[in-house]
């Protein structure tokens, strides 16, 4: 990909993440990139395609999962929990790298809503990502039960969902309360206590 195009995409992503699709105008993008209208419409058909291509390149690369997250039967439930929190932390760092300092994580949710509205196809990708995350928790829970670390009279699906939902809720709340750092400490606290009561 041409360096100019890459520059456009990165700058656009930053702005979309800060303000959302509708709030970002082409002239803002032109100004922010230091380029011209001509350059934009040379590389992209229209604003919507630019948005979609931007998402395709960067939005879905932000994921709390990496290669280390592949399930290893040796690793304990507790360690996976910590690993998960670390990855959330990394992901948040990645987002704030793109977005600079402003707008905290609010833009991330805004963008998810825009995705649902302007690029309904990507909605499936978000769905798939959620499914993947759920499958992760499912395996971790199963593993924990098999190893005798976690109580066995618990419904695996519900507990897997429990962790995922809890993470979503904490993230949502830390974003809306404007306390991005609360995400980690709160996640740590509530996960630890939950672990304490599901531990055999």
Partner DNA sequence: AATTTTATTCCGACCGTTCGGTCTGTTATT
Partner DNA sequence: AATAACAGACCGAACGGTCGGAATAAAATT
31 binds, among a copy of itself, DNA, none (CB under 5 to 8 A by kind): none
Residues in the chain: 200
Tokens, residue 140: 């971790």
Q: What is the DSSP letter of 59?
A: G
Residue 161 · residue 82 · CB < 8 Å: no
* Site membership for a copy of itself, residue 176 (CB under 8 A): yes
* Site membership for DNA, residue 99 (CB under 7 A): no
* Site membership for a copy of itself, residue 30 (CB under 8 A): no
Residues 98-157 that bind a copy of itself (CB under 8 A): 106, 109-110, 112-113, 116, 123, 126-127, 130, 151, 154-155
Binding to DNA by CB under 7 A, coded x per residue (else -) over 34-63, reads xxxxxx-xxx--xxx---------------
Distance of CA 47 to the CA centre of its chain: 24
Check the CA dihedral 181-183-189-195 and report its sign.
negative
Tokens, residue 187: 């996640």
156 binds, among a copy of itself, DNA, none (CB under 5 to 8 A by kind): none
DSSP 32-88: HHT--HHHHHHH-SSHHHHHHHHHHHTGGG--S--GGGS--TTS-HHHHHHHHHHHH
* Site membership for a copy of itself, residue 47 (CB under 8 A): no
CB nearer DNA, residue 5 or residue 162: 5
> Which candidate, 114, 69, 95, places its Cα nearest to that of 171?
95
First to last CA, the chain: 53
Which residues contribute to the site for a copy of itself (CB under 8 A)?
20, 22-23, 106, 109-110, 112-113, 116, 123, 126-127, 130, 151, 154-155, 158-159, 161-162, 164-170, 172-173, 176-178, 186, 189-190, 193-194, 197-198
Which residues contribute to the site for DNA (CB under 7 A)?
2, 4-5, 24-28, 34-39, 41-43, 46-48
């Amino acid at each position: 990909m041409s360096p100019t195009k890459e520059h456009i995409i990165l700058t656009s992503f930053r702005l979309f993440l800060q303000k959302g699709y509708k709030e970002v105008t082409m002239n803002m993008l032109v100004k922010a990139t230091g380029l011209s209208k001509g350059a934009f419409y040379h590389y992209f058909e229209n604003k919507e395609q630019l948005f979609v291509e931007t998402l395709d390149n960067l939005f879905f690369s932000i994921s709390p999962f990496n290669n280390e997250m592949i399930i290893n039967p040796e690793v304990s439930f507790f360690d996976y929990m910590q690993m998960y929190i670390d990855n959330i932390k990394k992901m948040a760092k990645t987002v704030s790298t793109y977005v600079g300092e402003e707008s905290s994580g609010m833009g991330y949710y805004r963008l998810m809503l825009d995705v649902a509205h302007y690029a309904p196809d990507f909605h499936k990708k978000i769905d798939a990502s959620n499914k993947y995350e759920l499958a992760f928790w499912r395996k971790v829970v199963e593993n924990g039960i098999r190893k005798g670390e976690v109580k066995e009279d618990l419904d695996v699906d519900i507990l897997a969902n429990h962790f995922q939902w809890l993470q979503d809720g904490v993230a949502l709340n830390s974003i809306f309360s404007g306390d991005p750092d609360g995400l980690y400490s709160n996640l740590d606290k509530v996960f630890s206590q939950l672990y304490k009561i599901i531990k055999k």
